[in-house]
Amino acid sequence: MIPVSGPYTVSEVGAGDPLTKSFQRMIAIPPQEGWGPEETIRGLQAAMAAYPDDPTILPQYLTAEALAKWSPAGPVTVIEDGFEVVPQTPRDTTGAVEKLQVKAQVVASIKEDDSYAPTAGSWDRPFDLVKVQGSGYRVKSLPTGLVLTNSDVMRAYRPTNLYYMSGNSQKQLVVDRVRLRLKPTESFAQTILERLLKPQTAALEGGAVTSSFPPGTKIESIRWSGEERVVINLSGPIDANDLSTEDSLRAQVRYSLSKNEVAKGRVIEMQLDGEPYFIDRPESDEGWLDDSGDSAYYVSKGAVHYMGKDGPAGVVPGPAGQPRDGYSNYTLSKEGTATSFVAATTSTGISVAKLAPEGQWQEVIQGTGLTPPTWHQDGSLWTYDTKNGFLLRYDPATGRGPERVSAPKLQGLDVTRLRIARDGVRVAVTTGKNTVQIGALTHDVSGTMLGNFQSLTTTETGKEILDVAWADDEHLLVLVGIKAGQILSQINVGDGETVGIPLEDQLTRLAAAGGRVLGEFSTDQGVKVMELNQDRQSWTAKIEQGAGTPLFPLG
C-alpha cells in the first residue's frame, strides 16, 4: 500500500551480484486533494527526485501551461536537505493563488556531461500555486531542470571514475570523475560502460584524452558467468586484429569497472558480436596508470639524496649529488630511464643536470620571473614566465627550446605555481595567493595548448595557498596558511571532495606519490622531513635534521 502522507523509498537489492550496487529508489506520489501548498511543493520536489525512473508523476503537479513550458533538460541543481517553504504576503484573499518562496543552500550542480561541480550560496525561488477543485494545488510555472536534495543525490547517484586514454604520445589512462545515476533497469556495470562509450567531460575535451571505443560501438549484454567471470558482448566497428586498440580498450574496461568496485578481482571475457575477443585477468598490470616510480629523495645543502625506508640512503650520482649554494625548487623527472634529470631554480633561470656521473648542471631556461619547474611524463620541463606571460617547455632529449605553449586563459593572471600531474594531462595552477585552478593539456592540428580551466578552490581573504602537490592522478594536496596555523587538504579534482589531513608542526613543502606523502617541516630544532602515516592522521620523522625539500619523481 502506498502511504498518502508523501513519497517513500524502495531498496533495490543486488546482493551477491558483482555487477551492480544496492540503492534506494524514490517512489513519488501524485498531489493529493487534502494537501496544502507547502505539502504540494515538497511532493513536487520528491517527484523531481523520482523523475528519471518514473516521469509520469511530476507532470501531475503542473498546470497545463506550466507543463507545456517545462523541460527536465539542463544541469541538475543540488540543494541541502532542509529547504524552507515560506508563504508570501499579502496572500490572495480569494484563495485562488498561493504564493510561496522556496529557500535553500545550493550544494552543487550535476552537469549534462555528468560532471559534479560543488558550489555554494543561497537558492531562492518563487512559486505560484492555483487550487484545482477536487484535485488540490497545481504549480503555475516551473523553471527548466530538476532540483534534488543532497540526500536524493547520495541515494541515487554514485561517484564514478571513468578511464580514457591520454591524448599525448605517452598513452596512459586518465581518470574522469562523474556522478552516475543508478538505474533499476540495468546493472551498474552496464551504466558505467554505457557512459564510457560517450565523450569525456568538458574538463578533458579538446583532445586531452581519447577513447579506444570507435563511434558506433554498442554493449549488447553484460552477464555474470559463474563465480569468477564477467562476460561483456560488444558490437560495432571494432577492428579485432588491431592489438593496440585491444590493449587500450582492455585497460579502459578493466579500470573503469574495478576502480568502482564492480567486477573487481574477476576475469573479464570480452566478446565481439558474440565471438571471443579477449580475456583480461585481474592480476594483469601493464602500467596504464602512473609509473613514474615512488622512490623518495630529499635535498641537503644543495645535494640530492636518496631516502631509504628509515632514513638517509646515499646521494645521487654526478654534480646533482654534490653540495651547492643558490639552487632551490628542486624537481625530478621520470625515474628508471637513461635520461633522468633533476631541475632547480637559480637566480638567473632554471638549470638541469643528468643523474649520472658525467652529468653537468646547465641553464636551459633564462629569466627571473619563472614559476618552480615541473616535469612532464614525456621528459620535458615546463615553467611559466610570469614577467612575459609565456608558458615554456624545454626538452632535454633534443636540447631545443624553450618553446612557447599556448595558454590564453592565463594571460593577465598572477600565476604563482604550475604543476603537471603524472598522467601528463592535467595541470594545477595557482594564481595570486588564494586560487587553485585545474586545466588540461589539449591537442589539435595547431599543436598543444593549456586550457579547459576549472576552479578547484579559492581561499578567503587573509588566507594564503602555500604549496600544492599531486597526491595521485585525481587528488591534489593543498596547503593553506591561516592566522591560527595551517590547513592541509586533499581535494579530488574531479568533484571537489575534500579530506583534511592533520598537521603537527609548521609544514613548508609537500611531495607525494603512490599513496605516500612527505613534508618538509620547520621546528624549534630545525628543518626535518616527515612522512604521513597510513592512518592519514599522524606523521613519522624520516630525516631528523639538516634535510628538506622532499622529492618524488615528477612530484
Kindly state the average pLDDT of the residues 203-228: 92
Kindly state the average pLDDT of the residues 101-130: 95
pLDDT at 3: 37
What is the rounded distance in angstroms from the CA atom of residue 223 to the CA atom of residue 268?
10
Nearest to 195 by CA among 112, 268, 117: 112
Q: What is the pLDDT of residues 38-67, one digit of tens each?
A: 999 999 999 999 999 999 999 999 999 999
Q: What is the pLDDT of residues 361-408, one digit of tens each?
A: 999 999 999 999 999 999 999 999 999 999 999 999 888 879 999 999
pLDDT at 14: 52
Give the contacts of 90 (CB within 8 A, at least 6 positions apart): none
CA 383 vs CA 368, 391, 394: distances in Å: 12, 6, 9
Domains and CATH numbers, the chain: 8-155 (3.10.450), 158-280 (no CATH)
In DSSP terms, 324 is beta-bridged to: none
What is the rounded distance in angstroms from the CA atom of residue 376 to the CA atom of residue 123?
42
At 210, the pLDDT band (50, 70, 90 cuts) reads very high
Mean pLDDT of the residues in the chain: 90
Q: How far apart are the first and last CA of the chain?
A: 59
Q: What is the pLDDT of residues 462-497, one digit of tens each?
A: 899 999 999 999 999 999 999 889 999 999 999 999
Q: What is the pLDDT of residues 137-171, one digit of tens each?
A: 999 989 999 999 999 999 999 999 999 999 987 78
pLDDT at 91: 57
In DSSP terms, 353 is beta-bridged to: 342
- What single-letter DSSP state applies at residue 468? E
Instruction: For 56-87, give the DSSP string.
Output: TSGGGGB-HHHHHH----SPEEEE-S--EEEE
